[in-house]
Chain A
Amino acid sequence: GDSVTQMEGPVTLSEEAFLTINCTYTATGYPSLFWYVQYPGEGLQLLLKATKADDKGSNKGFEATYRKETTSFHLEKGSVQVSDSAVYFCALSDRRNKLIFGAGTRLAVHP
């Protein structure tokens, strides 16, 4: 079945460092891909999405490009802030239009 694999965390960075969180997927067909962010004590919020190959989703300085050839959707940010500390979830929308989530990657950014 469809699945999403994320790099294990936690990822610990200093402020202004470059961030990459890897995400790869297995799916039938061409799913839509998403990154969600969960701040402490809150629900998930949509961060960005891409609906077809080579699309780049971007929001709040975060970017991810839908790579069909490598079945990847890695999340990047050029300069992280302490306020970016959260858990990040990669997800795909399967053939039945249901979201399949990765296990999540915790990011901790220190001043």
Chain B
Amino acid sequence: IAGITQAPTSQILAAGRRMTLRCTQDMRHNAMYWYRQDLGLGLRLIHYSNTAGTTGKGEVPDGYSVSRANTDDFPLTLASAVPSQTSVYFCASSEGVGQPQHFGDGTRLSIL
């Protein structure tokens, strides 16, 4: 079934550790996005990529980095995790900028 695959599903991580959340899509969508979801705040955009080879900062980019080496993959890296990064992370993609977004099932990350 076509769609977005995120891994891992959940993770508990010690503060200060490095972590990469994986996101792969098989729909050949040009644009990809990373959001964090926190209770009472909805979803907030962390980073985005309008096309392979380009990335941009969203609303809450600090402490996160991304890369877009190819169309399908868009990993999100926490270089040195802090407890405030405890959240549910969603990857999404769209055919193009402004088109409806398709979401993965999320990664639940707890930083202790």
- The chain A residues found within 8 Å of chain B, CB to CB, are 4, 32, 34, 36, 41-46, 49, 89, 93, 97-99, 101-104
State whether the Cβ of B82 lies closer than 8 Å to any Cβ in chain A: no
Cα–Cα distance between A78 and B36 once the two chains are bound (Å): 32
Contact of B98 among A32, A44, A103 (CB under 8 A): A32
B105 contacts A99, CB within 8 Å? no
Does B79 have its Cβ within 8 Å of any Cβ on chain A? no
**CB-based contact B43/A44 at 8 Å:** yes
B105 touches A41 (CB 8 A): yes
List B contacts of A103 (CB < 8 A): 40-42
For residue A104, give the distance in angstroms from its CB to the closest CB of chain B: 5
With a CB–CB cut-off of 8 A, which chain B residues contact A89?
Answer: 42-43
Residues of A within 8 A of B100 (CB): 34, 46, 49
Interface flag for B90 (CB, 8 Å): yes
Determine the residue in chain B with the shortest Cβ distance to A90: B42
Q: Which of B40, B90, B100 lies at the interface centre, i.e. has the most chain A CB atoms within 10 A of its CB?
A: B100
- CA A49 – CA B105 in complex, angstroms? 21
